[in-house]
Amino acid sequence: MLVVTCLVAIGTTGAALLARDDATQAAIDQVTSIAEAVAHAPTVIAAAQTPKPSAVLQPYAESVRLATDTDFIVVMAIDRTRWTHPTVNLIGQPFIGTIAGALAGGRVVETHAGSLGESVRTVVPVLSPAGAVLALVSVGITTDAINRRLLGRAPAVLIPTALALLLAAAGSWFLSRRLRRQTHGLGPAEMTRMYEYHDAVLHSVREGLIVVDRAGRVTLINDSARALLAGSVEDLPPELADLIATRAEVTDEPILVGDRVLVANQRVIPSQGHLVITLRDHTELRALTGELDSVRGLTEALRAQAHESANRLHTVLTLVELGRSDEAVRLATAELEVAQQLTDQVVGAVSEPALAALLLGKSAQAAERGVQLEVDEASFLRESTLAGRDLLTVVGNLVDNALEAVAGTPPPRKVNVLVVSEAGEVRVRVSDTGPGIPDPAAAFRRGWTTKEGGRGVGLSLVRQVTERYGGAYEVQSSAGSVITVRLPVTS
């Protein structure tokens, strides 16, 4: 408000000065034109050549002065003697002012203090037909008269100024009120402090933060988000772009960005319609979780095997006590042969210990759920450049999806797993006797799932690993489903 007032005051002062200059120039133009007209009047030229010019010129000069709203018209001899003057007793007295230029046939324009006070005046010569200077004419308007004229124009300046000041005050009040509402009552100091806090938090948090406007343009992104996306802000990863396009509020939504598994949270700012997205890197956590699941599966398998072994041992002991030793021997050796056969098959076929543990663990889980998990006899995995963690991701997620598919279906419930190295690639095939996949083309998209409340990330992770290795995947679905993944590797 103070700034606006100062600007209005400066503008008003400037307007007043300009108005005064305009009024002074208008007075100069007025007295000059009147002086020229009087000097060229035949009455003045004739009277200037008589012995007593005042008798004729005084009435004439006064009539012109009153008609033209000037303060004085003085006709004088070339020796400064006044022949006319508004104050009669000054007639015959010398003229006060500059006349040299007029005596030379020119014109004198000046502001000078005379008998009536300071005035703006013009002095011009009265010339004979032959061009000789016969007399001089001075016409003037006092500074006080000019000021009075200026005061008459004051409303034209002051009223717009007052209105401008009033509008400025009202605009300033409304602007201040709007700013207060927009900033939730925070003043400049608080806003500065909040900006400093905001900037510090933005660059210090490890979570990625992205703000997107209504048009889908990224308006803010912190350093962590740039590192997680590892690409151009204008070219967002497809899965993140799809999430933004939904404009839905989501919590802990897994998305795949390159070789990273990110967890995204998206919120809408109601007042602006902008989106705030936070990103956390769960790549390592999910990898460790996968390995932990493998170990947990192996542990559960061992626990189940121990439980079954205890049951078999009690049965064998009872048969021995009943004197049926032959049956006891057959039961013990048969169960051991089945368990050992599966272990020998998996360990012999798969050189990756973590994958072998995963398959044994999944076998135990399948048995507990009434599902028969078979490791195909053609399985054989040599050492390769394929990361064990990636292989666990592919096999583990495919087997989990197959077990979910056959759960609750009528017997026989079977899942067959083939992992084989051949012709510079690792081929993983998982088939099941479930109801099949209703939309094979969409199975590998993020969020696709047939489970209520499911996340739909497993097959998406498989697709991400496959694409990273430049491999391919295929889905067949009729009576059950068959998913085949091919991963190119070097020995």
Q: Which span out of 121-130, 158-167, 262-271 was modeled with the highest average pLDDT? A: 121-130
Query: Contact, 415 vs 430, CB < 8 A?
Result: yes
Q: Which two tokens stand for residue 353?
A: 């210990």
- pLDDT, tens only, 78-112: 999 999 999 899 999 999 888 999 999 899 999 88
In this predicted structure, what is the pLDDT of residue 54?
92
CA distance 422 to 381: 9
Instruction: Kindly provide the residue ranges of all beta strands, DSSP E only, lying in 242-312, ordered along the sequence.
Output: 250-257, 260-268, 275-281
The string over 425-460, giving b where at least 16 C-beta atoms fall within 10 Å of a residue's C-beta and e elsewhere, is bbbbbbbbbbebbeeeeebbebbbbeeeeeebbbbb
Q: Which span out of 156-170, 351-365, 459-473 was modeled with the highest average pLDDT? A: 459-473
Candidates 436, 428, 433, 488; CA nearest to 462 is 428
Burial of 51 (0-12, 13-18, 19+ CB in 10 A): exposed
Whether cis (ω within 30° of 0) applies to the bond prior to 412 is yes
Beta partners for residue 414, in sequence order? 372
How many CB atoms neighbour CB 266 within 10 A? 21
Average per-residue pLDDT for the chain: 80
In this predicted structure, what is the pLDDT of residue 180?
77
Query: Contact, 410 vs 374, CB < 8 A?
Result: no
Hey, what domains does the chain have and what are their CATH numbers? 2-152 (3.30.450.20), 188-281 (3.30.450.20), 285-488 (3.30.565.10)
Burial of 124 (0-12, 13-18, 19+ CB in 10 A): buried
- pLDDT, tens only, 262-273: 888 999 988 778
Instruction: Kindly provide the residue ranges of all beta strands, DSSP E only, lying in 49-148, ordered along the sequence.
Output: 72-76, 108-114, 117-127, 133-142
| CA-based max dimension of the chain | 179
In this predicted structure, what is the pLDDT of residue 79?
92
Indicate the helix (H) or strand (E) that contains 190: helix 188-204
Q: What is the pTM of this model?
A: 0.46
Helix, strand, coil tally for the chain in percent (to 5): 50, 20, 25
Query: Who contacts 153 (Cβ-Cβ below 8 Å, separation ≥6)?
Result: 19, 23
How many CB atoms neighbour CB 95 within 10 A? 22
pLDDT at 404 over 80: yes
Query: Contact, 211 vs 226, CB < 8 A?
Result: no
pLDDT at 7 over 60: no
In this predicted structure, what is the pLDDT of residue 72?
92
More confidently predicted of 163 and 284: 163
Handedness of CA 187, 192, 196, 198 (dihedral sign): positive
Q: Give the relative orientation of helices 283-321 and 325-349 as an angle to the nearest 10 degrees.
A: 160
Q: What is the mean pLDDT of residues 324-335?
A: 74
pLDDT at 51 over 60: yes
- Residue 454 pLDDT grade (very low, low, confident, very high; cuts 50, 70, 90): very low
Q: Indicate the Cα dihedral angle 18, 24, 25, 29, nearest 10°.
A: 160
Residue holding tokens 């697709």?
A: 463
- Residue 246 pLDDT grade (very low, low, confident, very high; cuts 50, 70, 90): confident
First to last CA, the chain: 78
- pLDDT, tens only, 308-317: 667 777 787 8
More confidently predicted of 256 and 349: 256
